[in-house]
Structures are given as C-alpha cells and as structure tokens.
Amino acid sequence: MKLKSLALTSVFVLAAGIAHADVTVDVLSINRDSATWKQLYEDIVAEYNAAHDGVTVNVEFMEDESFKQKLPTLLQSDAAPDLFFSWSGGVFYEQADQGFLRALDDATVAAWKEELSPGGMAALSYNGKYYGAPEASQNVAIWYNKDIAAELGVDPSAIKTYDDLLEMVKVAKAANVTPFTVGGQDKWPLHFFYSMLAMRIMGQEGMAASAAGENGGFANEDWVRAGEEFVKLVELEPFQDGFMGVKYDQATGIWGDGGSLFHLMGDWDLGASRAAASDGGLKDEQLGVIPFPAIEGGKGKITDTLGGASGFVLTKNAPDEAIDFLKFFMGEKAQKRAASEGIYIPTVPSASGLVEDVVLKQFANIGGASTYHQLFLDQYFGSELGGVINDVSAQLATGDVTPQEAAELLEETRAFQ
C-alpha cells in the first residue's frame, strides 16, 4: 500500500528502540459538531493507536472561539499540543514567524506531495517551509430552505444580484418568516456578509490593494460602500430575534430545524446543522445552495469565492511520531471516507471525485468554478486585523458603528499592526 511505503521511506522512520518508547501525541481540533466527522477522527485515532505500540494519540475538541482565544497562550506553554487545527492564512504565518511551529523536512514534503494535494500543502507553507498536511477545502455560500421558499412562492435560484436578495428578504419578512439565521455572538458568521460584499464590490485587485495599504487601505469608498450595503440588509431586520446572544452552534441548530429561509455559511454546516437540530435537520431534498450575488457596478464576479483550505500543523516540540500520525490522519484513506460519507470536501485529488452528497456536490461545483478564492478575512489578515474585521461586522449589524467608522477602524489597525 502506498501509504505504508511512504511511511517506511520517509526520513522520520524511527529506529526499533525508539519506536517502542512510550510517546503521547496530543492533537487539538476545533469542534466537529457533525457526529460523522467526529467519529471519523475517533476511528482514525483508534486504528493508528492499535497499530503502533508505545504511541498514544489523544484528540481534544474545542469550540471555535475558545480555540482562537486559548491557542496563543497554549503555544507559549508546556501544555502546547503536538498538532493543531489551522485555517492557514495570516494567523498561521504569525505562528510560523514566532517560532511556534515545526517544519517538515524536504524528503517528507516531496513524498507527501505525491499523494496529498500540492495546492493544499501550499496553503500550510510559509517562506518556503511546510508545516502541516491539508484536510478540507471550504466555500461559503447561501443555503436556502426549499420548503419555505415554496410556501413563500419564491425561487432563490433566480437571485443574481444583491438587490434581488434584498427583495426576497422583504418577501420573507412580510410573511413573518425569518430571512437569515446567524450566530451573532461569535461575530465571525457576521463577517461573512461584510466580506462577501467587499469582495463583490472591489474584486481581487481591490482586496489586494487594501491589504497593501494602497488607495487608502481600508479607509476608501469601496469599504465604506461594503458597510453601507450591509446596513441595507440590517435595516430590514433579517436575523432571528436575539441573534447577538446566539452562538454559531445554536444558530445552525435553529437553521436545521427550519427556522429561516436563508443561511450564509460554509459547506461544513451540512453535518453541523444536522447534529445541532432537534430532529436530525433538513434533508438533502429540502436544501438548495446559491453563490452570494453580484453587486451592481462591482468589480468582483459572482464566481469569486470566500472560504478556506484547512488542515493540521505541527508545533515546535512535536515528536517524530506526530509527523507519522499526521500523514495517516490527513491521508488518502481518511479523506476517501470523508468524501464517500459526505463529511467534507477533501483536498486529496484521488478522493474529490467520491463526493456523493448532492448538497456537497453543489459546493464542490462552486469551488470548481471559482475565478478567485479569498481566504476567510479574519484568518487571512492575521489575528489583530482579523479580529477587528469580526468586531466591526458585529457592530455594523447592531448599529454601533457607521460604515465610515468601520472602514477607518480597519485601516487604523492595519497601519499599526
């Protein structure tokens, strides 16, 4: 089997005396609310532990926001995990710059690239060094409930422009139907609205110019307009009552119970919503997916996508056994199972064609047609600026900042980080 041959030929192969030493490999993951996703992890760990005497792999799951808040402290302590989940992007670059990560050697990288996705591995590389292995590719799009749409007499698949979306929100509100469910307390679900609007307005070149501090950085008319367009939606009161007191895990359960017409979220929400819903969630035949619509006069395309390329990376003191497990954990066998069971869209090329779930296929098609893929902004711009993006997205949703103030706060943070 190729997996075994790679493990045997890689330079991290352990001498017999070392292989039987008692070693613990600690893995820190974000929550896997999908029961099938969590079961996949547990099965892979159990299989690996059973086949490796003297090695014990432990996986801990942590809610997303707690993960983001606690990880920086953990990485500076003796309690640092050996492997941890990464969205890649600016936060990952900061971790590498700060010396918290262990780089893979060249021979291991060359061997892994023969089986794992080279593009996915590139997402977990920085300054010519590779620090981990990729797992899933993600895209954010608008989910819609077909049953509610039929009751309202609307067809969300006909939405092409942002104005079309706003009109459908008005139809839902007039019928006392919640247009969007969102976990406002976590803030990052709200940043999807602000991010997508910014992308549709300024396009790839404009986004890159903002990051580089050109054209006023973030304090320019495009970012102000993104805020203004978001406020147009907010003024229609599109979210469920008390949305700022609801976390993502709760919100996706509300969505899964049929609580709204729309849900702006990534492909991972399929399993998460079903796990959080009270009755198993919405069935495939009840779900539709459309890309975020275009903005009139905007430079971005409806085929430009927002999402991620995630995986797991090694910390600086990770033992060689952690590298061996990482390859198995993110390897072809695990990703083929993920694809066939509809758990996530894998990065391993040999597994991508096995995606059978009709909903995940729609996300895979959106990703396959992408003309420009933007990493989640709260990860792409690093911890400080990314955090402020989440903050101002929430403040725009509550009316606590104006679009102009939001843009100026972003630029002030960019200039001083």
Q: Does 302 lie in the same domain as 154?
A: yes
- Does the structure show a pLDDT above 90 at 368? no
Q: Which two tokens stand for residue 111?
A: 């061997």
Q: 3-class SS at 298?
A: coil
Q: Which domain holds residue 401?
A: 139-306+375-416
Name the strand (E) or helix (H) holding 307. Answer: strand 304-314
- 268 lies in the same domain as 327: no
Question: Range with the lowest mean pLDDT among 207-211, 365-369, 385-389?
Answer: 365-369
Weakest-pLDDT range from 75-79, 153-157, 380-384: 380-384
Claim to verify: residue 129 and residue 23 sit in the same structural domain: yes
Residue 3 above 60 pLDDT? no
Helix, strand, or coil here: 95?
helix
- Asked if 262 and 409 sit in the same domain, the reply is yes
- For residue 369, being part of any structural domain is answered with no
**Average pLDDT for the chain:** 91
Residue 352: predicted pLDDT = 65
Q: What is the pLDDT of residues 263-278, one digit of tens each?
A: 999 999 998 999 999 9
Q: Is residue 395 part of a domain?
A: yes
15-49 residue pLDDT tens: 333 444 599 999 999 988 678 899 999 999 999 99
Report residue 301's pLDDT band, with 50, 70 and 90 as the boundaries: very high
Same domain, 296 and 356: no
Q: pLDDT value at position 389?
A: 97
In a domain? residue 366: no
Q: What is the pLDDT of residue 160?
A: 96
Do residues 324 and 276 share a domain? no
| Count of structural domains within the chain | 2
Q: Does any domain span residue 370? A: no
Domain of residue 31, CATH code: 3.40.190.10
Share of the chain above pLDDT 90, in %: 74
Q: Let me know: does 222 contact 201? Beta carbons within 8 Å.
A: yes
81 shares its domain with 112: yes
Per-position b or e across 284-310, b if 16+ CB within 10 A of its CB: eebbbbbbbbbbeebbbbbebbbbbbb
**In this predicted structure, what is the pLDDT of residue 2?**
38
Per-position DSSP letters for 111-145, written without gaps between them: HHHTTS-HHHHHHTEETTEE-EEEEEEEEEEEEEE
pLDDT band of 364, cuts 50, 70, 90: confident
Residues 206-262 have pLDDT tens digits of 999 999 999 899 999 999 999 999 999 999 999 999 999 999 999 999 999 999 999
**Same domain for 381 and 344:** no
Same domain, 82 and 179: no
Instruction: Give me the pLDDT at residue 317, please.
Output: 96
